[in-house]
Amino acid sequence: MAAIEVKENIYWVGAVDWNIRDFHGYSTESGTSYNAYLIKDEKTVLFDTVKKELKGDLLHHLRQIIDPSKIDYLVVNHVEMDHSGSLPEIIELIKPEKIFCSPMGKKAIIEHFHREDWPLEVVKSGDSISLGKRSVQFIETKMLHWPDSMFSYIPEDKLLISSDAFGHHWATSERFDDEVDTDQLMKHAAKYYANILMIFSPVVQKLLAQVKEMNLEIEIIAPDHGIIWRKSPRMIIEAYDRWSRYEAKEKVVIIYDSMWHSTEKMAKTIMNALQREGIKHVKLLHARRAHRSDIITEILDAGAIILGSPTLNNNIMPAMADILTYLKGLRPKHKVAAAFGSFGWSGESVKHLNNYLEEIGLETVHPGVKIKNVPTHDSLKDCTELGTAVARALKA
Ligand code: FEO
């Protein structure tokens, strides 16, 4: 690929990772990109680097614009290894005069790379540096995605370099939102939010309020992953507002596993009941067929979650435990819930599923349904009752 001009003397110089399929448990079936940006001015500055293995791509892009040794400053907006992995070799090559980072960034850089000799210069929210014609304002964004994270804002260009925020995992040859399909772009952005940032939704709300209060004019959002928002930065900001307020649709996600189809019959009966009650949008997701990160994406805008598992060794099925551990960490809120499952003799699964729901903090609107061995027409009536209760709670 080539370096791409974002604005005059501002370039995308990152790397596209076409082949990554797993990002610490998140299925990146469409790859990703690690975006780095270069601003040429009286002082030339590189914002972030890329994953270690793709350092060659970053250097290839930089050399199309400038001899890397001529770069004056480095800004480390985020220390996670997908952006800092090639930092040691890049610093060795560039020998930057200064490396700007947040207070927590300095700590994280030292703890990751153990180099006290690098010229780290701490900047805080509100601090600004001059590059010549342009300046860079820093905004700390703790926990988006790590404690060290920060934004870099270029007021002269109304450009926000937003680190992980507003990003998405999608490998493309296109670099801008007006060059790709909007529905696909928003699907990737929603998946990214659900899997990476849902847990930090209260922080996102605070940050959006802070940005509003600062009256930041934003014409371009350049995140560290995926497409640059230059046509519709408002669209992604508004989506972040909706997602971080846990805005939900009249939609139900049923997640289940089944050994010999009894729990599956229960799931389908519940789905039928939901539809009879007028819930049009129901997703029936098998825990071993759908990937956990796609399940979480469906949950992002769902108003209800229903969990099903047969009892296995006095417990639930392992794939359900995987999904629920992941879901608990991401802390979804304001959704109604219920649980069901078949059993052979002891029948603890529904109790375990209800415990998970309670730990996650979701409100159960039905005590749950247990059916011994294979369901009958009569015993499935309890599942109809459960589906009806969830539908009515969702519509209330
Ligand atoms: Fe893309 Fe939190 O790193």
In this structure, are residues 210 and 150 in contact, taking their beta carbons and an 8 Å threshold? no
Q: What are the CA-CA distances from residue 360 to residues 7, 137, 171, 267, 335 (Å)?
A: 45, 38, 33, 21, 10
DSSP 362: P
Question: Which of 48, 57, 148, 164 is the catalytic position?
Answer: 164
Domain range for 81 is 4-244
Residue matched to tokens 């350092």: 55
Question: At which of 244, 271, 303 does a domain end?
Answer: 244
Q: Are residues 234 and 261 in the same domain?
A: no
CA–CA separation, 184 and 166 (whole Å): 15
One digit per residue, the tens of pLDDT, for the chain of length 396 reads 899 999 999 999 999 999 999 999 999 999 999 999 999 999 999 999 999 999 999 999 999 999 999 999 999 999 999 999 999 999 999 999 999 999 999 999 999 999 989 999 999 999 999 999 999 999 999 999 999 999 999 999 999 999 999 999 999 999 999 999 999 999 999 999 999 999 999 999 999 999 899 999 999 999 999 999 999 999 999 999 999 999 999 999 999 999 999 999 999 999 999 999 999 999 999 999 999 999 999 999 999 999 999 999 999 999 999 999 999 999 999 999 999 999 999 999 999 999 999 999 999 999 999 999 999 999 999 999 999 999 999 999
CA–CA separation, 128 and 28 (whole Å): 36
SS3 20: coil
Q: Are residues 239 and 121 in the same domain?
A: yes
Q: Are residues 173 and 91 in the same domain?
A: yes
Pocket lining: 51 vs ligand 1, CB cutoff 6 Å: no
Q: Are residues 234 and 142 in the same domain?
A: yes
Q: Are residues 116 and 263 in the same domain?
A: no
Q: Is 291 a catalytic residue?
A: no
Q: Are residues 238 and 271 in the same domain?
A: no
Q: Is 80 a catalytic residue?
A: yes
Q: Are residues 350 and 280 in the same domain?
A: yes
CATH of the domain at 256: 3.40.50.360
Ligand 1 center to 141 CA (angstroms): 13
- Please give the number of the atom of ligand 1 that sits closest to the Cα of 163: 1
Q: Which amino acid is at 149?
A: S
CA–CA separation, 396 and 390 (whole Å): 10
Question: At which of 178, 209, 244 does a domain end?
Answer: 244
Q: Are residues 143 and 21 in the same domain?
A: yes
101: nearest Cα among 71, 132, 74: 74
Q: What are the CA-CA distances from residue 271 to residues 7, 143, 357, 372, 385 (Å)?
A: 51, 37, 19, 20, 11
Q: Is 257 a catalytic residue?
A: no
Identify any residues that bridge with 254 across adjacent strands, giving them in sequence order.
Answer: 284, 306
Q: Is 193 a catalytic residue?
A: no
- Please give the number of the atom of ligand 1 that sits closest to the Cα of 149: 2
Q: Are residues 273 and 161 in the same domain?
A: no
Question: At which of 209, 244, 279 does a domain end?
Answer: 244
Please tell me the total count of domains within the chain.
2
Give the list of residues 6+ apart from residue 32 with CB closer than 8 angstroms, or none: 16, 17, 20, 23, 169, 170, 171, 225, 226
Sign of CA dihedral 224, 332, 360, 357: negative
Q: Is 48 a catalytic residue?
A: no
**What's residue 1's pLDDT?**
83
- Which residue lies with its CA nearest to atom 1 of ligand 1? 164
Q: How far apart are the first and last CA of the chain?
A: 52
Question: Which of 24, 67, 183, 377 is the catalytic position?
Answer: 24
Pocket lining: 224 vs ligand 1, CB cutoff 6 Å: yes
